Amino acid sequence: MSKPLVVVKIGGNVIDDDDNLTSFLKRFAQIPGKKMLVHGGGRVASDMAAQLGIPVEMVEGRRVTSAETLKVVTMVFAGLVNKKIVAGLQAENCNAFGLCGADGSSMLAERRIVKDLDYGFVGDVTAVDISAIESMLENDMVPVFAPITHDGNGTLLNTNADTVATELAIALAMDYHVQLQYCFEKTGVMLDADNENSLIEEISPDEYQILKEDGVITDGMIPKMDNAFQALQNGVRRVLIGHADNVLLNAVGRKVGTEITRDRVNN
């Protein structure tokens, strides 16, 4: 029987605030059994780019990763944020170990090819090698993954952290019984963004289509939901979107947030 594994992704707003991060790391460290963390970089990278006078380039509404921006995200994600989290977890007696996609070639990517548009050093995942991560997990270490990948030819690439978490969860689902949590600063997916009591406790693909058509699920939540369904379709057992403060409760089987489910007919 596969062993349980909790894969947690934390986003920008949890990382940006030191108190929020400390509080999250305390709870995460208490998750029993095997676990790993995937993090983004949040505002820290944008602030650093601004301080260094690196302009934010947008192409059709999307941020471009120039060579200079790639340096900043590599420094901030794989250096500053990753090691701050690792040291913070070590202080909680959680034997964390930081890595990115270049380390052990654990995540290969290729530059996104878009006709007439160049998003720069943005990588779409092409291969995941979980051997180093599994070795850590089997030695009771806790991998902490920064969303930087590489192309195998010496170039680092910037990859979306939700996507990184999803790809890792899917690859690890071959050998583990994986629960995937996307943690952020809200309780979950809301029917009404301004009303904390409007939490959607479960979403199936059919319900998602309706909510998307009705404009209830919009913007940044759409790729997150798409990632969630992709994970479920590829062997991940349980996917939740929830508040970072509820990471431990959700890890031990409670449901405080939005659970993404397969089609009801298939359950």
Per CB under 8 A, residues contacting its own copies are 48, 51-52, 71, 74-80, 82-84, 86-88, 90-91, 95-100, 102-105, 131-132, 135-136, 139, 141, 148, 150, 152-156
Buried b (16+ CB within 10 A) or exposed e, 165-197: bbbbbbbbbeebbbbbbbbbebbbbbeeeeeee
Residue with Cβ nearer its own copies (149 or 204): 149
Residue with Cβ nearer its own copies (106 or 250): 106
In the complex, the smallest distance separating the C-beta of residue 102 from its own copies, rounded to whole angstroms, is 4
In the complex, the smallest distance separating the C-beta of residue 127 from its own copies, rounded to whole angstroms, is 12
CB 80 within 8 Å of CB 44: yes
User: Any idea which residue has 């460290």 for tokens?
Assistant: 29
In the complex, the smallest distance separating the C-beta of residue 6 from its own copies, rounded to whole angstroms, is 20
User: Any idea which residue has 């720069």 for tokens?
Assistant: 120
210: number of Cβ within 10 Å: 12
In the complex, the smallest distance separating the C-beta of residue 161 from its own copies, rounded to whole angstroms, is 15
User: Any idea which residue has 């298939």 for tokens?
Assistant: 266
The amino acid at residue 124 is D
Cα–Cα distance measured from residue 200 to residue 3, given in angstroms and rounded to the nearest whole number: 29
In the complex, the smallest distance separating the C-beta of residue 26 from its own copies, rounded to whole angstroms, is 11
Residue with Cβ nearer its own copies (76 or 216): 76
Residue with Cβ nearer its own copies (112 or 237): 112
Q: Which two tokens stand for residue 253?
A: 């089987």
Query: 3-state DSSP call for residue 1?
Result: coil
Residue with Cβ nearer its own copies (133 or 241): 133
